[in-house]
Structure 1
Amino acid sequence: MSIGAVVRRIRAYGGQFLLLGVLTLVITLLISGVPRITNRLTEQGLREHMAQQLPARRDITYTIAQDAGSTVPSNAHAGQSRLDVLQETMPAQVRHAVSERWYVADSPMGRLTGPDLKRNNILVDLALRAMPAVPDAATLADGRWPADEVPRDEPTQIALSADTARKLDLRVGSELRLALPDSGVPPASVVVVGIFTPNDQSDGVWDSLPQLLRAAEPQGDGQPFIAVGLTTISALDHQAADGVWLTHSWRYRISGDAVDATRLDATIDELQRLAQTAPAGLKVVQGADVPLREFRDALASARTLLAVIAAGVLATLAGLVLLAAGLAARRRRDEFALLRARGGGSTTVARRTLAESLLVAAPAAAIGWLLGTLVPGAPGTTVPYAVVATALVALALPLAALATPGGVGRRDLVRLRPSARRLTVESSLLVLAGLAVVLLRRRGLTLGEVDPLLVAVPVLLAVAVAVLVLRAYPWPLQLVSRLAARARGSVAFLGTARAGRSVVSTPLVVVVLAIATAGFCAVVSSGIEASRDRAASERVPGDALITGERLAPDTADALSGLPGVRAVAALASEPGQRPARSIAGLDAGINQVSVLAVDGPALARVGRTAGRELSLPPAMRAEAGDGPLPALVSPAVATDLTRAGLAGSAFLSLQGQRYEFRVAETVESFPLVTPGTERFVVLPLQALPDRRTVAVPTGFVVAGDDLDTEALRRTADEGQQRYQSGGVVTGGERPRGAEVQTWATSRQRVGEGGANGLLAFGFVSGAAGGTLLGLLAIAFTVLAGARARGQVLSRLRTLGLSRRQWRGLLLVELTPLVGVAVFTGAFVGALLPLLLTPLLGLSAFTSGMPVRVAFEPGLVAAVVALGALALGFAVAIEALNNRRLRLGEVLRLGEES
């Protein structure tokens, strides 16, 4: 065979080979580009996840242990020189993950005095800090930075943050005295030489405690401000020479940009072993392994879900390739018959078609691969997969040519029955799908790994259900056809009769597989979003949650009077309480629990007003009465109370008063209880008996429209001040400011960061790809029977069938085929989440809230819309094909032209 002859045959059947080439290009494009996208989204998610963490969960901090002995640095210069040495001692993965590092040397807290402080009667405790990284991260607002070399007999130079200088009413030139208690060191002279402001308050250099940027407010009357003054290493060395004990810390920040996402397990293991590898005399504190482990778990779940989606998409593409090859082979049936009649064998047909498909598939695969390399992101090791996929696509046409029967016949006049071989294959497929589902549910899976069984189950289940439905659906159509035969007109009878005898089952299986993939993505995505809503509602069961210390009871009325507020519910919480056996406080020997008292009826009203799904148990609606309070308890607390014989009567303290309660119900979680809390007791606030000291709220749940968070915070602060000044409690401690958390903010936090970007990409690409491939498979379904329909329509048109009747006949014939395929695919797409969701670990994306797959009316409407779109697309394809074939010529040219 010459290349020229092969090219001429490709040109003669250009449309069919173009379709095969496009499918090859799409497959290799996905193989090359999708791993790059997933790697880029993984790195981006890791970076965002680490950036959201508190400093304690991003930093590795070395400090001097209590038994350090001679390993304590003699001065700050010696401590600074160990910054590089300590990083070099870290394991390789941890060392490479460090993006920033800081050395801090602090002097002890001392009492600061001076004329400027005495003038305003301000008490201040000040620590001196040397931190070489500060001048590069701040800008001088006044004065200069402390000088590096200052004689020991001169005052110690310090720089203060603008906030600290403002609170303490200090300025450049302020002369002070710093006395260290119980140190035996005489007071030192201190002079303020500079005032600075941070370039970026979120910079990690400011995360050292106590805060350098702001002075801590006094905790009560007669208590001092806590402040830090910046000085130089030389100044602290002078103090060390005088006998002042310095504290040293070396802090290294782990950044998501610096962590290798492909080696998370190794990085986590090395972080956990840091304490064992730390130099003698040093103590290591790190929490970076916790967020990395959280991201690893979420990434494993996302990759497992992506494997399911990719399996559906690739299986659909493989089915389309087989359909394209089969359609091309049927169109060339006469050519292959002629080759055999002239003495050619099966190998001749196979060689000819293999040369043609290779000449089309290889360039298309190369183009798809090159296009995939243009996608931003780190490449994956996918070259072998692309080569294998190209080879399989190239083999599809020769295999289809060998499988195409040589004879022709009037298939529309024969009632086809499935052969025994086909029935055996289909029965085996059903049994295999059932066994695979049972085995997967019993065995489970390892998240993050491409499990062959997990990849096979969705495909097997979709194909098995499709085979069952496509075997069963002709029977109702035949019944409808008999009824239509008795009615007037021929359109309904002919259309249902032809639909009942349709033999395009293979294309429809591909449609079911594609729509099932899109439906699976839509159902799981909807379930995750609903679970995230529930997780946010667990934290904020209204539109806003206000928390503080103790607020005056009339704060509820003040909140109700704010614009937009429609409902308010009070709550009181107190952690760390031990159950008692009696009102006198006899200890029950049970570990501490968190106590939450909430106004049940008011909370239910807030939930209804805000549109939240709150199902409060009857115990929370109880009214005040005699006997123990009905309480909701966590399973761990219920077990302890039952073991101690206190399930019917126990006592808990709330704001200094003990209340008797009984276990009314055991619950895994409850709104307003911090997620992950395993030991809690919830009491009905409205049912608390009268006491000498009434329990006052520590927070409120608010429902309303367009709430002003600043107004809510200000009203709550005023309520705290009224409680403080109302003479209810003794002592002058200043309450902390009230905090306001909205439902929208909580919902945003639940759905952002981590591997959520990767998950969203999987859902969007799976739903969009499944829908598009499903429409393409419907086009194959239509084209598979287009020639037979063209012959029938040609005869009917010559017998007087009008154009309007012809369109009606086409619609009646295609509606059952398309409708059954789309709705069967949607059914499988809704069934798969029920089977797979418990195994996929999707709670990693919902803050631990279990993902429940529920009926969504919106999804049903989407399926109906998709069915209408698919039917319209099928009719349009058929119309275009008939116009191209010219129905009159179909009839004149013969049965199989």
Structure 2
Amino acid sequence: MSPSGAPRRVRAYGGHFLLLAVLTLVTALLITALPRVVDRLTGQGLREHVAAQPVARRDLTYSTEQMIVPRTASRVAATRAAELDALEARMPTAVREVIGERWYAAETGFTRLTGPTLSADKGLIDVSLRSVTGLPEAATLVDGRWPAGGAGATVEMALADTVAGRLGIRAGSTFALSVLDERGKPVRSIRVALVGVFRPTDPHGGIWDALPSMLRLAAPTGDGKPFLSVAYTSEAAFDAAATSGWPVSFSWRYRVAPDRFSPGQLPAAVAGLAAMERTRPAGLTLTQGVDIPLRRFAESLAAARTLLAVIAAGLLATLAGLILLAARLAARRRQGEYALLRARGGATTAVLGRGLAESLLVLPLAAGVGWLVGGLVPGGGAELRWVLLATLLATLVPPLAALTAGRGGGGRSDLVGARSPAVRLTVEGTVLAVAALGAFLVRRRGLTLDGTVDPLLVSVPVLLAVAAALVALRAYPWPLRLLSRAAARARGSVAFLGTARAGRAAATGPLVVVVLSVATAAFCGVVATGIENGRDRAAAAAVPGDVRVDGDRFAPDTTDALAALPGVRAVTPLLVEAGQRPYADQAGRFAEVGDARVLLVDGARFAEVARRAGVPVTVPDPLRATGDGTTPLPALVSPALADELTDAGLADPAGRRPAWLDVQGNRFPVRTAATVDEFVLVDRSVTRFVVLPWPALPADALHPLAPTGFLLAGDRVDPASVARVATEGQERYQRTGVVTGGERPTQPTVTTRSAVRAELGGSGVNGLLVFGFTIGAAGGAVLGLFALAFAVLAGARGRGQVLSRLRTMGLSRRQWRGLLLVELTPLVLVSVLTGAVVGALLPVLLTPVLGLSAFTGGMAVRARFEPGLVAGVLGLAVVALGFAVAVETLNNRRMRLGEALRLGEES
């Protein structure tokens, strides 16, 4: 009875302790490695997310308004350049730590450049002189020299070769730079000399990203407008221009470096950027957009961490259950030893001390090995205290199992329902009540976005899985008993004996663990599939075809030109008018209705494009209607706008009092045919919109409708060719449209559905999600098989004795295998299917509070049990059944059934 015999007992029962050690090692490894992997993937995703943002969004820019400095001022540029360090020093520490490159610029306003080498055919040229820190180091001279100063009456400047070449000027040319009045007459002039032409060392370097760009000649914004160019000048030359009365401005630009970001800095950086907006120095304007992608990443990261916490909780709970099952199995094998120890006067403390001495020799060492192995995983964030807590709990399990194994007497333990102690009923009822209460509270409260793991949300899935397992354990023997009664009246003993034993099985603990592990795996599969489907729907909502073109007005023949491109199978025009306010009558009297976005689509052609692109889009019947605009057009209206139209008395579905909309000079009557929350071609952020069918205007209409976009369907359509044809169509409209000249149209944008889908799938936390779903599905399936093995081993000795007796009575080997299948199949199917059902229902319960829309671009995630997942669950059930039969067969061979029969009931 002395604890000094612990090493000898550990060696005698080495198999049991090895199993406990492996489970403890895996638990410590998971607790240590999981946070490290999450930290590494989070940091990698954050850096990729920031790097993927446009450079303008990664810049923090302080700037001044244009001003006139006194003529007596000196060292104007140098004095303001010193503020580059001062402004950075004022930034919050978290923001200052992520700043990489920085630039200071002093520049004059745009003034007219004239000279003998600038012929009239080159158009009007306006130039701004800019002094930028570090520019000579970022460029190479290809002609002349760098500006040296502003001595005398001449200001020196240098131009990029791309600008000088287009203007046809070289170093050595002189010009006049003039400030013009409202009538275009010069009121002030200075002499400027082009002393150098440079070429950027790296055209993509951050120093060239300031707008307007120094590397290109900006096109005029309209007829009679000048080209815009920016020239480099020295600080002294800038001072000379500034003190000559030229309007000047200053800017200090700081670029966020993606490689300096770490997940721990994210909350402080977001808070610091908000603080900078409130505490900017007087007289300066702060322009920045990096806080928007950082906030979006923080939201998606909070949802991803919560999702991972739910998965990790399921795996850790499964491992805890396996450790408990292994300890109970080991204690059951040594039940006679513990009973003899008590019979010889051993107290409770003696049993506990004996078991604790054995555990201390094995389990802390196994946990230490798991912690060391987990520490080799790159990353950070793992805390030793959780490993110590898990080690402590695992070490205490075998002594407690030994204490309970030494109590109790004989009798059959395979009779479910033969007796239901009050303690067991109380525990099961409490678990059911707590699980139901937790689910109610989670749905009512929602997701917490404070960056911490929500204990309630993490524990509810585990409680629901345990509760479902307890209900299944109580329910599944009853149909088996009915089946056993029917089998008793049939010929043969295999079906009767198998169903009778299956109906009396009492594998409570293993069944709970199997349900928990399979539920974790099924939860991962359902949520992963829901997110993928949500991303597909988000991409289809943005581009309900293969390619989408957006721009200004296009010539009507652009539709045919796009349809003639290789690979294009269908094209439909789109017309979008933003900020249109409905009228109360045809005369143009405004109603009490706010602005709305108007979308015109050709319903039939749109449906054809969606069908050929394989996008599941339902085109409502009102959009398939035809009309010439003289009768009220049926409209799909958003709820917010529909309420206002109803209040104004303009929502009559019959169109007796329609609303009127002005679309490109045409005034159409509109009736509300249906109210819709969203439409595929309308961004989800737009809450006020009207969707109309494309009216068939007469050929001699005063204002023919010009599309503002197109939707294409086709295979391997070249986006560059689409952009070229769209640009030509836009230019044709500008030349031949009803209104020519004016503002120069923006370049059309071409978006493919595959690109939108790839962007959604390549979001910052996508690697984290893939890791979580992989480890959850694979780990849940593997641990479920281990738990099933425990369920089989829990009743293996009893089955072995029964099979031994039946074999002596003439049971054949084939009947023996059949009996095993009949007895084990209900246990396997009930545990696997119950776990699968729980795993499928958990997303339905938790999706509204998990914030999964952060992974799908705002599209709601619909949790469904897809056919592929059903096939996977059935495959897992088949594998589990084969695994259970294999475990039983191997165990029977090891036990030698003949010896088991001779050794007696409790051997």
TM-score by length of 2: 0.93
Residue of 671, 675, 680 corresponding to 1:671: 680
Q: CA shift at 1:58, angstroms?
A: 2.4
Alignment of 1:514-525 (within 5 A): 514-525=517-528
Contact 2:155 2:240 in 1 (8 A): no
What secondary structure, in the 3-state scheme, does the structure 2 residue paired with 1:581 have?
coil
Contact 1:513 1:825 in 2 (8 A): yes
1:117 aligns with 2:121: no
Residue of 612, 637, 651 corresponding to 1:633: 637
Closer, same or farther in 2 for the Cα pair 1:420/1:413, shift >3 Å?
Answer: closer
Counterpart CA distance in 2 for 1:378 and 1:84 is 33
Contact 1:629 1:687 in 2 (8 A): no
1:188 corresponds in structure 2 to 191
1:859 aligns with 2:869: yes
1:760 corresponds in structure 2 to 770
Alignment of 1:161-200 (within 5 A): 162-182=161-181, 184-199=187-202
Contact 2:697 2:704 in 1 (8 A): no
1:846 corresponds in structure 2 to 856
Counterpart CA distance in 1 for 2:90 and 2:462 is 50
Closer, same or farther in 2 for the Cα pair 1:233/1:640, shift >3 Å?
Answer: farther
Query: What is the root-mean-square deviation in Å for CA atoms of aligned residues?
Result: 2.6
1:337 corresponds in structure 2 to 339
Q: CA shift at 1:723, angstroms?
A: 3.1
Counterpart CA distance in 1 for 2:683 and 2:145 is 45
Alignment of 1:192-271 (within 5 A): 192-199=195-202, 201=204, 203-259=205-261, 261-271=263-273
Q: CA shift at 1:549, angstroms?
A: 2.0
2:45 corresponds in structure 1 to 45
Q: CA shift at 1:435, angstroms?
A: 2.1
1:544 aligns with 2:547: yes
1:57 corresponds in structure 2 to 57
1:244-263 per-residue CA deviation (whole Å, 9 max, x = no partner) reads 23210011223444345335
Counterpart CA distance in 2 for 1:224 and 1:65 is 22
What secondary structure, in the 3-state scheme, does the structure 2 residue paired with 1:186 have?
strand
Q: CA shift at 1:234, angstroms?
A: 2.5
2:801 corresponds in structure 1 to 791
1:738 corresponds in structure 2 to 748
Q: CA shift at 1:630, angstroms?
A: 1.6
Segment of structure 1 superposing worse, 792-801 or 305-314:
792-801
Segment of structure 1 superposing worse, 24-33 or 660-669:
660-669
Q: CA shift at 1:542, angstroms?
A: 0.6
Q: CA shift at 1:725, angstroms?
A: 4.1
What secondary structure, in the 3-state scheme, does the structure 2 residue paired with 1:215 have?
coil
What secondary structure, in the 3-state scheme, does the structure 2 residue paired with 1:187 have?
strand
Letter in 2 for 1:63: S
Contact 1:129 1:228 in 2 (8 A): yes
2:356 corresponds in structure 1 to 354
1:533 aligns with 2:536: yes
Counterpart CA distance in 2 for 1:653 and 1:508 is 68
Letter in 2 for 1:700: F
Counterpart CA distance in 2 for 1:238 and 1:353 is 90
Segment of structure 1 superposing worse, 752-761 or 738-747:
752-761
Counterpart CA distance in 2 for 1:268 and 1:739 is 31
Counterpart CA distance in 1 for 2:68 and 2:42 is 41
Q: CA shift at 1:146, angstroms?
A: 1.4
Q: CA shift at 1:403, angstroms?
A: 1.5
Q: CA shift at 1:116, angstroms?
A: 4.3
Q: Number of residue pairs matched?
A: 893
1:513-555 per-residue CA deviation (whole Å, 9 max, x = no partner) reads 0111111111111111111111111110011102232223232
What secondary structure, in the 3-state scheme, does the structure 2 residue paired with 1:675 have?
coil
Residue of 435, 439, 442 corresponding to 1:440: 442
Counterpart CA distance in 1 for 2:691 and 2:833 is 46
1:422 aligns with 2:424: yes
Closer, same or farther in 2 for the Cα pair 1:672/1:262, shift >3 Å?
Answer: same
2:86 corresponds in structure 1 to 85
1:56-94 per-residue CA deviation (whole Å, 9 max, x = no partner) reads 432222112579999999611111111001111222222
- Structure 2: where are the runs of 5+ without partners? 653-657
Q: CA shift at 1:205, angstroms?
A: 2.3
Closer, same or farther in 2 for the Cα pair 1:786/1:61, shift >3 Å?
Answer: same
What secondary structure, in the 3-state scheme, does the structure 1 residue paired with 2:579 have?
strand
Letter in 2 for 1:88: A
Closer, same or farther in 2 for the Cα pair 1:399/1:176, shift >3 Å?
Answer: same
Letter in 2 for 1:481: S
2:655 corresponds in structure 1 to none
Alignment of 1:627-706 (within 5 A): 627-648=631-652, 649-686=658-695, 691-706=701-716
Closer, same or farther in 2 for the Cα pair 1:316/1:686, shift >3 Å?
Answer: farther
Segment of structure 1 superposing worse, 8-17 or 579-588:
579-588
Closer, same or farther in 2 for the Cα pair 1:805/1:530, shift >3 Å?
Answer: same
Counterpart CA distance in 1 for 2:506 and 2:243 is 96
Q: CA shift at 1:2, angstroms?
A: 6.7
Q: CA shift at 1:398, angstroms?
A: 1.1
Closer, same or farther in 2 for the Cα pair 1:740/1:595, shift >3 Å?
Answer: same
Contact 1:631 1:663 in 2 (8 A): yes
Contact 2:157 2:233 in 1 (8 A): yes
1:702-744 per-residue CA deviation (whole Å, 9 max, x = no partner) reads 1122222222223323333443444544337654433221100
1:883 aligns with 2:884: no
Counterpart CA distance in 2 for 1:501 and 1:686 is 73
Q: CA shift at 1:587, angstroms?
A: 2.7
1:324-352 per-residue CA deviation (whole Å, 9 max, x = no partner) reads 11111101111111111222122211111
Segment of structure 1 superposing worse, 230-239 or 335-344:
230-239
Closer, same or farther in 2 for the Cα pair 1:171/1:19, shift >3 Å?
Answer: farther
Q: CA shift at 1:415, angstroms?
A: 8.0
2:403 corresponds in structure 1 to 402
1:286-312 per-residue CA deviation (whole Å, 9 max, x = no partner) reads 333222222222122122222222221
Letter in 1 for 2:391: T
What secondary structure, in the 3-state scheme, does the structure 1 residue paired with 2:189 have?
coil
Counterpart CA distance in 2 for 1:604 and 1:844 is 29
Closer, same or farther in 2 for the Cα pair 1:414/1:465, shift >3 Å?
Answer: closer
Alignment of 1:256-335 (within 5 A): 256-259=258-261, 261-335=263-337
Q: CA shift at 1:802, angstroms?
A: 2.8
1:490 aligns with 2:499: no
Closer, same or farther in 2 for the Cα pair 1:668/1:152, shift >3 Å?
Answer: farther
Segment of structure 1 superposing worse, 402-411 or 593-602:
402-411
1:391-432 per-residue CA deviation (whole Å, 9 max, x = no partner) reads 110111111111123534455699843333322322222222
Counterpart CA distance in 2 for 1:19 and 1:854 is 37
Closer, same or farther in 2 for the Cα pair 1:452/1:275, shift >3 Å?
Answer: closer
Segment of structure 1 superposing worse, 45-54 or 499-508:
45-54
Contact 2:637 2:674 in 1 (8 A): yes
TM-score by length of 1: 0.94
- Structure 1: where are the runs of 5+ without partners? none
Residue of 547, 569, 575 corresponding to 2:572: 569
Alignment of 1:777-856 (within 5 A): 777-856=787-866
Segment of structure 1 superposing worse, 471-480 or 285-294:
285-294
Give me the identity figure in percent: 56
Q: CA shift at 1:153, angstroms?
A: 4.8
1:5 aligns with 2:5: yes
Counterpart CA distance in 1 for 2:761 and 2:299 is 16
Counterpart CA distance in 2 for 1:26 and 1:254 is 40
Counterpart CA distance in 2 for 1:348 and 1:157 is 94
Letter in 2 for 1:83: L
1:751 corresponds in structure 2 to 761
Letter in 2 for 1:641: L
Closer, same or farther in 2 for the Cα pair 1:406/1:417, shift >3 Å?
Answer: closer
Counterpart CA distance in 2 for 1:877 and 1:73 is 91
Closer, same or farther in 2 for the Cα pair 1:200/1:210, shift >3 Å?
Answer: closer
